[in-house]
């Protein structure tokens, strides 16, 4: 019984030390792109616009306020594409993403 309690305490201590170390290892590896999408003529927010990075499997859709955010993007330079049925697709080049930063593009 005493041996079993010691094993449980060792396991708990190991978990306590592992969790903070693990979170530090993943910090500072990616950035994000965020912004608001609206109709150029009316200024009205556009809901459900697909926003994605060209040649990558990373993207998002705009919400009811036209807001979108693409998370976990490795640092670098990207081409951002926005598309929605009934609108012409828009392509923006040279969007730069930095570690632990938000690149805003409306």
Q: What is the CATH number of the domain that holds 94?
A: 2.60.40.4130
Q: What is the pLDDT of residues 46-62, one digit of tens each?
A: 999 999 999 999 999 99
For residue 8 the two structure tokens come to 């449980």
The predicted structure's pLDDT at residue 92: 96
- Residue predicted with more confidence, 10 or 104: 104
Q: Is residue 10 over pLDDT 70?
A: no
59: three-class secondary structure by DSSP: strand
For the sheet with 31-36, list strands across it: 67-73, 31-36, 102-104
82 falls within a domain: yes
5 falls within a domain: no
Under 8 Å between Cβ of 36 and 46:
no
Under 8 Å between Cβ of 37 and 51:
yes
14 falls within a domain: no
8 falls within a domain: no
Question: Can you tell me the mean pLDDT for 71-94?
Answer: 96
Chain mean pLDDT for the chain? 86
Tell me which residue of 32, 35, 34 sits closest to 106, measured CA to CA. 35
The predicted structure's pLDDT at residue 83: 97
For residue 52 the two structure tokens come to 């994605």
Question: Which pTM was predicted?
Answer: 0.72
Query: What percent of the chain is modeled with pLDDT above 90?
Result: 74
4 falls within a domain: no
- Total of domains in the chain: 1
Residues in CB range of 47: below 8 A, 6 or more apart: 62, 63, 64, 66
């Amino acid at each position: 019984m005493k041996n079993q309690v010691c094993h449980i305490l060792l396991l708990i201590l190991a978990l306590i030390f592992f969790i903070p170390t693990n979170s530090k290892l993943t910090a500072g590896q990616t950035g994000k792109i965020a912004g608001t999408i609206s109709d150029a003529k009316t200024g009205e927010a556009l809901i459900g616009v697909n926003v994605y990075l060209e040649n990558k499997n990373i993207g998002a859709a705009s919400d009811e306020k036209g807001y979108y955010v693409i998370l976990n993007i490795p640092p670098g330079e990207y081409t951002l594409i926005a598309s929605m049925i009934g609108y012409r697709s828009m392509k923006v080049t040279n969007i730069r993403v930095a570690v632990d930063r938000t690149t805003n593009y409306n």
